[in-house]
């Protein structure tokens, strides 16, 4: 039976030198890709929230009778490169907008307000 002593430490074998570096070299690109995708997802979600807020404000502006240029300008000021569509739907005025997000994706939002509202 073999007993362990304090001097019986694990020693590196010659064939294990550089294995940590190799494992790190393999793991680093994967971690970088995951972080980049996470940042892109957060940026897309942030743009979606800004677009939704801008569309809701624009729908209220349009319902009050503001000109279309002001309504479109309100959305574009909040989210650049947004395309805006204003359409009446019965007693409602609806504004729909789409804007490019990261990685070639597009986000869209729609908001409606009662026409003639204050």
For residue 67, the SS3 value is coil
pTM (2 d.p.): 0.74
pLDDT of residue 47: 94
Chain center to CA of 10: 48
Share the mean pLDDT of the chain: 87
Closest CA to 95 of 81, 116, 74: 74
Closest CA to 39 of 115, 101, 90: 101
Q: What tokens were used for 23? A: 């494992």
Tens digit of each residue's pLDDT (9 = 90 or more) over 36-66 = 999 999 999 999 999 999 999 999 999 999 9
CA distances in angstroms from 80 to 13, 20, 75, 100, 110, listed in the order given: 59, 46, 8, 9, 16
Tens digit of each residue's pLDDT (9 = 90 or more) over 70-90 = 999 999 999 989 999 999 999
Tens digit of each residue's pLDDT (9 = 90 or more) over 83-118 = 999 999 999 999 999 999 887 889 999 999 998 865
């Amino acid at each position: 039976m073999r007993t362990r002593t304090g001097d019986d430490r694990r020693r590196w074998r010659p064939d294990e030198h550089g294995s940590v570096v190799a494992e790190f070299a393999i793991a680093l690109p994967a971690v970088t890709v995951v972080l980049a995708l996470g940042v892109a997802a957060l940026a897309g979600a942030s743009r979606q929230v800004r677009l939704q807020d801008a569309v809701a404000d624009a729908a209220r502006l349009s319902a009050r009778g503001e000109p279309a240029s002001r309504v479109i300008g309100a959305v574009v000021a909040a989210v650049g490169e947004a395309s805006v569509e204003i359409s009446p739907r019965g007693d409602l005025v609806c504004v729909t907008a789409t804007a490019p997000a990261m990685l070639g994706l597009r986000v869209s939002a729609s908001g409606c307000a009662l026409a003639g509202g204050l």
